[in-house]
Structure 1
């Protein structure tokens, strides 16, 4: 199982995963991702900007996410307070394939991101999610992310979390 940069040739597999995640959010009663976002243009832009990453196992993509080393403008105006003011990585659009069921893939992804951050000398991970994304909220709690307040994306409040990694 490897974490690697996504390629444009991965878009079809990634889009299937995103569509599955959109359906899962809806089935869970969540309003997240029910408004046409993310879409294929979002994914293509992620890949073109070097943000798109996948976890691949034996040729199959099990998870897609955007990993952004840099500033997230929406995070500049938090209603609350971040744990740190240091450089950080942002995680967006985390979506797992149905092939990943039972593999704790999201947990493994977050652990792989921690390793990637340490390699790059970045010791803070920031992430946000919808108030009703119970699966992601459970993962963040399990992995010791700290709730820091609310940020706003496209006019909606989102729960914001940070984890500061040991140096």
Structure 2
């Protein structure tokens, strides 16, 4: 089950992000989130604005992500080209506790069910996330730059109206 995060979820969410930072460092990607991203105040803001979502299995939060249906400022300039200019869900800060396989895929598909178009970026060294995006039919569209000037690989996926991940229609 995926639901909006509530303030009482904060300890679990921060724990999952710490697990994800350790995993990324061990997987050869120590620079994307370093030791401080996402900071607690950003997570609290995501929760307040309704952007933060959690993936719950058997009563335990297994994953977290931020999703917002808006024009992401980081996605305004791309070296390459987005698939189209339709409204889209921007997905950020995807992380898993690591106990259950497929959590990141389920989070992405949940967003696709709601909006039909999802954009996401990842660090060039984040090979595990690139594999998740490739496996889930995302197209590498080019490179975008974060506010701090660091490059990210930009992906997008489109699905037809009414598409559902469990319907077998792809």
TM-score by length of 2: 0.90
Query: Structure 1 CA distance, aligned partners of 2:84 and 2:22?
Result: 35
- Correspondence 1:160 to 2:158: no
**Secondary structure, aligned partner of 1:99:** coil
Equivalent position of 1:80 in the other structure: 80
How far is 1:108 from its partner?
1.9
Query: Structure 2 CA distance, aligned partners of 1:87 and 1:35?
Result: 33
**Secondary structure, aligned partner of 1:67:** strand
Unaligned runs of 5+ in 1: none
How far is 1:138 from its partner?
0.3
Contact 2:116 2:159 in 1 (8 A): yes
The alignment of Structure 1 onto Structure 2 pairs a total of residues equal to 159
TM-score by length of 1: 0.91
Runs of 4+ in 1 over 6 A off after TM superposition: none
Query: Structure 2 CA distance, aligned partners of 1:82 and 1:45?
Result: 28
**What are the Cα deviations for residues 55-92 of structure 1, in whole angstroms up to 9, with x where unaligned?**
01122100000011111001001111100101000100
**What are the Cα deviations for residues 100-158 of structure 1, in whole angstroms up to 9, with x where unaligned?**
2xx3211222222222x2xxxx3210000000101100011111111111111121000
Unaligned runs of 5+ in 2: 162-170
- Correspondence 1:125 to 2:118: yes
**Secondary structure, aligned partner of 1:77:** coil
Equivalent position of 2:16 in the other structure: 17
Equivalent position of 1:28 in the other structure: 27
Q: CA RMSD in A?
A: 1.1
Query: Structure 2 CA distance, aligned partners of 1:82 and 1:112?
Result: 21
